[in-house]
Amino acid sequence: MNEKELISQAFAARERAYTPYSHFQVGAALLTREGKIYLGGNIENAAYGPSNCAERTAFFKAVSEGERQFAAIAVVGAPEGTKKELFSACWPCGVCRQVMREFCGPDFKIFTFSGKEGITACTLAELLPHAFGPQMLENGR
């Protein structure tokens, strides 16, 4: 699957976001190494703290189904009703970056979309340098 198809899937996931408070809809399409896609939308809660980002929704769905090997994720987000040509790049928050690091290596690809720039890509290492990962806990054994 190429990045254009993955971005398209993220737009489809965005349509299912539950955002009655912020009205900022985010969609994510997570690609496993075997080619399966898990979609996630952000899910808000009136208490705010229990809300969940689109990226984590996709990861948690995949992991709960037994997936552990991931290749890439596409993330798109903008206020409800925004036309595609007015989208700005929507990068994962710090919590989502840390969840990605739990399950992905430094070469994991992250794609986002901007109406002006099109598709932008980076690796997890670029997005989260000097990451704390599972190997940090193995050193003391």
CA–CA dist 48, 52 (Å, integer): 9
CA–CA dist 33, 51 (Å, integer): 28
Residue bearing tokens 């919590």: 95
Let me know if 3 is a catalytic residue: no
The number of CA neighbours under 13 Å toward the Cβ of 94 is 3
The vertex-82 CA angle with 111 and 49, nearest 5°, equals 70
CA quadruple 54, 91, 31, 103: dihedral positive or negative? negative
Choice among 5, 15, 44, 55 that is catalytic: 55
**Which residues are part of the catalytic machinery?**
55
